Amino acid sequence: MAKVLCVLYDDPVDGYPPAYARDEIPRIERYYDGQTTPTPERIDFTPGELLGSVSGELGLRSFLEQRGHTLVVTSDKDGANSVFERELPDAEVVISQPFWPAYLTAERIAKAPELRLALTAGIGSDHVDLQAAMEHGLTVAEVTYCNSISVAEHVVMMILALVRNYLPSHQWVLDGGWNIADCASRSYDVEGMQVGTVAAGRIGSAVLRRLKPFEVGLHYTDRHRLPAAVERDLGVTFHETPESLVEVCDVVTINAPLHPETEHMFDERLIGMMKWGAYLVNTARGKICDRDAVARACESGRLAGYAGDVWFPQPAPKDHPWRSMPHHGMTPHTSGTSLSAQARYAAGVREILECWFDQRPIREEYLIVDGGKLAGAGAHSYSPGDATGGSEEAARFAAG
């Protein structure tokens, strides 16, 4: 029998919800490209519940315990004395979400001789040292596509919020004011702007589709070029390099996975090539951007605004410069953990665990590392190496 160690974010401050704003969520059976949504044998939760926090347990407890497995759920994940650190050595399966990642560094993997499966409840497995996972023969899997549209919607919302100066305008209302000139002095129309995405995979291409009706110029760069018919349908211009893209765009959105080739891509040099007063939106991974370079660009006016919900590390220490820099629209990592998305990624985790314990193949599109090498979605999206360096700084969040 296996020990499953599950790291989830804390419950709401006022306690686990006794009721929800809506009675139901739409049922989605297939994604845009035809891939089916998760298909576990059954689920033990009601879609629309808060599943990603500690009390939600991803709806897994009865399933695992009925099979004789042990489930340990915690939010205490950082530092040598954390519950995660103490429970890891004899765990066979570790489940973590990108929003509150349990960083599986090489050091931690070495201390966990029983570990066989690292499972991401969501998409993006960069919190696992993929190089170490390959060397130790681990399987790394995630629920590919489960929250891609959730993130794409969030990107469009943040673009509009920045360009239209929504957050400061809303703050005037909260403060009891009616300061129209203050609100309008940084507010523009998106119409006619040039908008580009760095990476046009499931999320990036969904952003492009959603922005097309806004009558903007669309651009993208990616190591995998879209089919010509898709480019024509979207009216999108391909750029061989990020440098070529940022030079012409008023708005740039980052939708690439984090791996050694994308780490700190948006540094002082690349940000310096952007249009003066451009906007940058990052819902991919915080470490794709140099955090100090972004802060300086917002302070100087090089960037008219920066928004996103991804930081490094996560949770971000309280003195992280993105909390206090001007003209930002940062939130905690929430884009991919809407209640709608949680229903899909909880079901996907259940599907993967059913396959794992029944010794059936896991869907190829869910695989990141398998058999000592990048596999499935991992072979398409990642490069060998490690991007977890510096994650120990997350312990400073709890320290205050």
pLDDT over 90 percentage in the chain: 98
Quick count: other Cβ atoms within 10 Å of Cβ 338? Answer: 18
Which one is catalytic: 97, 131, 147, 342?
147
Tell me if 3-146+337-399 shares its fold with 148-330. Answer: yes
Catalytic residue check, 285: yes
Closest CA to 384 of 50, 135, 55, 139: 135
Q: How confident is the model at residue 1 (pLDDT cuts 50, 70, 90)?
A: very high
d(CA 132, CA 146): 26
281 to 10, 120, 161, 172, 310: CA distances (angstroms) = 26, 24, 11, 23, 10
Q: CA 104 to CA 193: how far, in whole Å?
A: 41
Specify the pLDDT at position 394.
87
pTM of the shown model = 0.96
Structure tokens at 62: 């009865």
Between the alpha carbon of residue 328 and those of residues 15, 119, 277, 299, the distances in Å are: 29, 32, 13, 10
Q: State in Å, rounded, how far the first CA of the chain is from the last one.
A: 39
Give me the architecture of the 148-330 domain, per CATH: 3-Layer(aba) Sandwich (3.40)
371-382 confidence digits (pLDDT tens): 999 999 999 999
Confidence of residue 400 (pLDDT cuts 50, 70, 90): low
CATH of region 3-146+337-399: 3.40.50.720
Burial track 258-285 (b if 16+ CB lie within 10 A, e otherwise) = bbbebbbbbeeebbeebbeebbbbbbbb
pLDDT of residue 211: 98
Residue 399, pLDDT above cutoff 80? no
Predicted confidence (pLDDT) per residue in 258-286, tens digit: 999 999 999 999 999 999 999 999 999 99
Residue with tokens 């401050």: 13
The pLDDT-based confidence of 338 (bands split at 50, 70, 90) is: very high
Q: Give the mean model confidence (pLDDT) for residues 127-151.
A: 98
87 pLDDT above the threshold of 80:
yes
Per cent of the chain over pLDDT 70 is: 100
User: How far apart are alpha carbons 60 and 69 in whole angstroms?
Assistant: 11
Say if residues 204 and 181 touch (Cβ distance below 8 Å): no
Q: Which of 154, 333, 350, 363 is catalytic?
A: 333
The SS3 call for residue 208 is: helix
Active site residue 35: no
Taking only the tens place, the pLDDT of each residue in 183-229 is 999 999 999 999 999 999 999 999 999 999 999 999 999 999 999 99
CA–CA separation, 311 and 393 (whole Å) = 12
Using CA atoms in the order 381, 207, 12, 95, what is the torsion angle rounded to 10 degrees?
-20
- Cβ neighbours of 23 (radius 10 Å): 8
Whether 179 is a known active-site residue: answer no
Q: Is 330 exposed, middle or buried (0-12, 13-18, 19+ CB in 10 A)?
A: buried
Largest distance between two CA atoms of the chain? 65
Q: Where are the domains of the chain?
A: 3-146+337-399, 148-330
* 202, 219, 285, 302: the active-site residue: 285
Which pLDDT score is estimated for 312?
Answer: 95
Confidence bin at 397 (pLDDT 50/70/90) = confident
Average pLDDT over residues 105-123: 98
Residues contacting 269, CB < 8 A, separation 6+: none
